[in-house]
Amino acid sequence: MKKNYLRLLTGLALLLTLTGCMRIERGLVIKSGGKMEVSMGGYMNQELTNMVYGSKEEFYEAEPEETEDMSENLGMSSMDALNGPDAVKTEFTADGTTWYGYQVKKNVSNFTEAADFFSDDNITFKISKAGLLTKTINIQMISMGNMSGSNSDMDYEDLSSVVNDTFYIEVPGTITSTDGTIDQNKKNRVSWSVADIDYGKSITKNMTVTYINVIPYIIIGVAVLLLVIILIIVLVAVIIFRKRRNDNKFTGVSLS
């Protein structure tokens, strides 16, 4: 059974004073046609991995003892999924360092199912159309209180300096406006820092992104193409009809 690497005592991370040494990423990918994928990942950077475990191999195999599960300690029970059967070992390079951890992805049918995936974070989703050619997604993330009933003595400032905690949305179109940060490598992805929600006091955070809805453009494009084809057919039919009429007039002329 895969060991739960999230049982790293948050106090240890603070003692190491490694800013941003841990990473939590949750996100929603909206695909063309309305299908959605939710994801959750928890990672530790290479420096902290080597300091605590000696190597990434030991990191994936070891289970820190005499520590508390971070998901329980921070009141984020949804992160227990990272120790479940659907979690996949994930390694990537970002921000100039290599990260090791686990990621869970799941296909969902609607925003209600997406919210259920992040249920303990008490996230509610709202979607509305802003005109015909754009869509606006409004996300409201509600904190359940300071540390969500955690028994940790660390406050928001301590944790937010140790954990890079983000929520992102990836949309199937060009982003036209948002109050988040657009990814420089993926222009259709926007993210927000949510450390103040996860580790802060009871507050509500609103996140908004508006993007071009490609479906109306496709419909309009197909309609225009069909109209052009119809006009061409009509024009050709008119030309043929006139040519035949002229030919009939010519053949019907008498020379006597």
Q: Is the pLDDT of residue 256 over 60?
A: no
Look at residue 155 and tell me whether its pLDDT is greater than 90.
Answer: no
SS (H, E, C) 36-87: EEEEEEEEEEHHHHHHHHCCHHHHHHCCCCCCCCHHHHCCCHHHHHHHCCCC
Give 111-153 pLDDT, tens digit per residue: 888 888 887 656 676 766 566 688 888 888 877 654 444 444 5
Contact at 8 Å (CB) between 141 and 178?
Answer: no
As a whole number, the mean pLDDT across the chain is 76
More confident residue, 13 or 193: 193
The residue with greater pLDDT, 131 or 242, is 242
What confidence category does residue 44 fall into, taking pLDDT thresholds of 50, 70 and 90? confident
Residue 5 confidence class, pLDDT cut points 50, 70, 90: very low
Strand partners, 178: 209
- Check the CA dihedral 77-158-24-12 and report its sign: negative
Tell me which residue of 163, 217, 232, 216 sits closest to 193, measured CA to CA.
Answer: 163
pLDDT of residue 125: 67
Residues 6+ away with beta carbon under 8 Å from 97? 45, 46, 47
Give the pair of three-digit tokens for residue 232.
């061409």
Identify the residue with better confidence: 133 or 79. Answer: 133
Q: How far apart are CA 198 and CA 142, in angstroms?
A: 9
Residue with more model confidence, 87 or 14: 87
Q: Residue 181: what pLDDT?
A: 95
The pLDDT, as a whole number, for residue 78 is: 66
pLDDT band for position 162 (50/70/90)?
confident
For the residues 178-185, what does the mean pLDDT come to?
93
What per-residue confidence (pLDDT) applies to 76?
59
What is the arrangement of strands in the sheet containing 134-142, beginning at the earlier edge strand?
Answer: 123-129, 134-142, 204-212, 175-178
Higher pLDDT, 99 or 2: 99
**Window from 18-27, 28-37, 97-106 with minimum mean pLDDT:** 18-27
Predicted TM-score (pTM) of this structure: 0.72
How far does CA 120 lie from the centroid of its chain?
18
Weakest-pLDDT range from 17-21, 160-164, 188-192, 234-238: 17-21
**Between these two residues, 220 and 78, which has the higher pLDDT value?**
220
Structure tokens at 148: 């969500």
Pairing of strands 189-193, 123-129: unpaired
Rounded Cα gap, residues 214 and 231, in angstroms:
25
